[in-house]
Structure 1
Amino acid sequence: MVSVGSADRYLPDTVQQAVKILVVGAFGVGKTTLVGSVSEIEPLRTEEVMTQASVGVDVLAGMSTKTTTTVAMDFGRVTLNSRLVMYLFGTPGQRRFWDLWEGLAEGALGVLVIVDTRRLEDSFDVLEQLELRGLPFAVAVNHFPDSERYSEDELRGALDLLPETPVMMCDARDRTSSVDALISLVEYVSASSARTPETTS
């Protein structure tokens, strides 16, 4: 977790723009870890201890050390430069919490999708939800110690992504790696907006 002093809790006067980013993904892919690794303030977390009630509902294959789960959202803040600040909203991964996405997605510039190659099929429904909502997104592949390595082309094909959708490798525990993934998303959304012709009434 990033350690910050009280002075870091306040934005500098030079900040001119704030953007909202959603961090989504299937259960246990590293969303909370990524938000925590980049946030310059103490991240807000709504994690609860997993109980017997989740047995048979939340698949824990490959996640033997996972004992908590996000039930509402994670929230963090990162200042990218003297003029731009980013607010991060991490969403729960389980399908039963997906109704929360509607409110969290309002006003979002774009979405960073965290993917775990050990359970790639768990990401299909997540990507489908984003496409249905028409939200621009980039994919960050979070590598775990026992993850297999795949090429970008292999991942793009397996996830059925458009050629222009950014795909980057990421270590959610590493601040630099995670910030780079977020910057790639912002650059992609900005470039896409610049290419889209304005409609006239």
Structure 2
Amino acid sequence: MGASADNGLKIVVVGGFGVGKTTLVRSVSEIRPLNTEETMTQAGASVDDIEQVRGKSATTVAFDFGRITLDAHNVLYLFGAPGQERFWFLWDRLFSGTLGAVVLVDTRRIDDSWYAIDRLEHHGTPFIVACNDFGGPVRASEEVRAALDLDPDIPLIDCDARDRESAKRVLITLVEHVRRQYAAAAGSLTAEVV
């Protein structure tokens, strides 16, 4: 699809360090994603806790960008945010004009998701939570929901960020969630007017 789409819809993928944000954007984008990954060095060892992400050799230093065409009029622009705390200041700017967000979670490190959820709630940005499969023990949805203190209306799904179909399901879940939220808001406005 060329530049002829009428509506560019922005989605941000956030989460802790090494949870698969770059992988999700890569797996679902119809274009070769723009990424800002750089090789991790010893200089960052004192700043980035890589204990839980052994084998990770590169990290996002600005954001990843991908695109997926929905139809002749609508395109999703995907922005993968960097996960390290030292880059969190970029998140508030990425959230500007966002349709919604995906919080990608590694259930072995649930605490790494708190900041993302806090910032999205602060901005009033609709979001879903997707638990990325790292091949370890699967935690029950109720356990993850309780650990993240999620409202019951926030979708919580499992995914494999490496798999295109799984990543598409994540985006579909987000778009459906946003649509329900806007429909509910429009319904309450109509009720107030009447």
Any residues of structure 2 matched to 1:133-152 within 5 Å, and which? 133-145=123-135, 147-152=136-141
1:79 aligned onto 2:69: yes
Work out the CA distance in 2 between the residues paired with 1:155 and 1:139: 10
Partner of 2:22: 32
Work out the CA distance in 2 between the residues paired with 1:59 and 1:95: 10
Partner of 1:89: 79
Deviations 1:113-163 (A, max 9, x none): 100011111111221122122211100100112x22012111111110000
- What secondary structure is seen at the aligned counterpart in 2 of 1:20? strand
1:180 aligned onto 2:183: no
Work out the CA distance in 2 between the residues paired with 1:108 and 1:130: 10
Partner of 1:108: 98
1:164 aligned onto 2:139: no
- What secondary structure is seen at the aligned counterpart in 2 of 1:72? coil
Offset, 1:84: 2.6
Deviations 1:152-190 (A, max 9, x none): 111111110000000010000000000110110011011
In the alignment, is the contact (CA less than 8 A) between 2:92 and 2:119 conserved in 1?
no
Q: 1:62 to 1:99 in 2, by over 3 A?
A: closer
Work out the CA distance in 1 between the residues paired with 2:165 and 2:108: 23
Work out the CA distance in 2 between the residues paired with 1:105 and 1:45: 18
Work out the CA distance in 2 between the residues paired with 1:107 and 1:125: 19
What is the number of equivalent residue pairs in this alignment? Answer: 189
Work out the CA distance in 1 between the residues paired with 2:114 and 2:152: 17
Match of 1:60 among 50, 70, 77: 50
Work out the CA distance in 2 between the residues paired with 1:28 and 1:21: 19
Deviations 1:5-24 (A, max 9, x none): xxx6x25x5x4432100010
Is the helix fraction higher in 1 or 2?
2
Work out the CA distance in 2 between the residues paired with 1:129 and 1:106: 12
Any residues of structure 2 matched to 1:111-122 within 5 Å, and which? 111-122=101-112
State the identity as a percent.
51
- What secondary structure is seen at the aligned counterpart in 1 of 2:162? coil
Partner of 2:143: 154
Flag structure 1 segments of 5+ consecutive residues without an equivalent.
1-7
Deviations 1:51-90 (A, max 9, x none): 1121132111232211111010000001134443100011
- What secondary structure is seen at the aligned counterpart in 1 of 2:77? strand
Q: Does 61-70 or 77-86 show the bigger shift?
A: 77-86
What TM-score do the two structures reach when normalised by structure 1?
Answer: 0.88
Code of the residue aligned with 1:74 in structure 2: it is: D
Work out the CA distance in 1 between the residues paired with 2:147 and 2:75: 33
Work out the CA distance in 2 between the residues paired with 1:85 and 1:95: 30
Code of the residue aligned with 2:49 in structure 1: it is: V
What TM-score do the two structures reach when normalised by structure 2?
Answer: 0.91
Flag structure 2 segments of 5+ consecutive residues without an equivalent.
none
Partner of 1:125: 115
Work out the CA distance in 1 between the residues paired with 2:88 and 2:72: 34
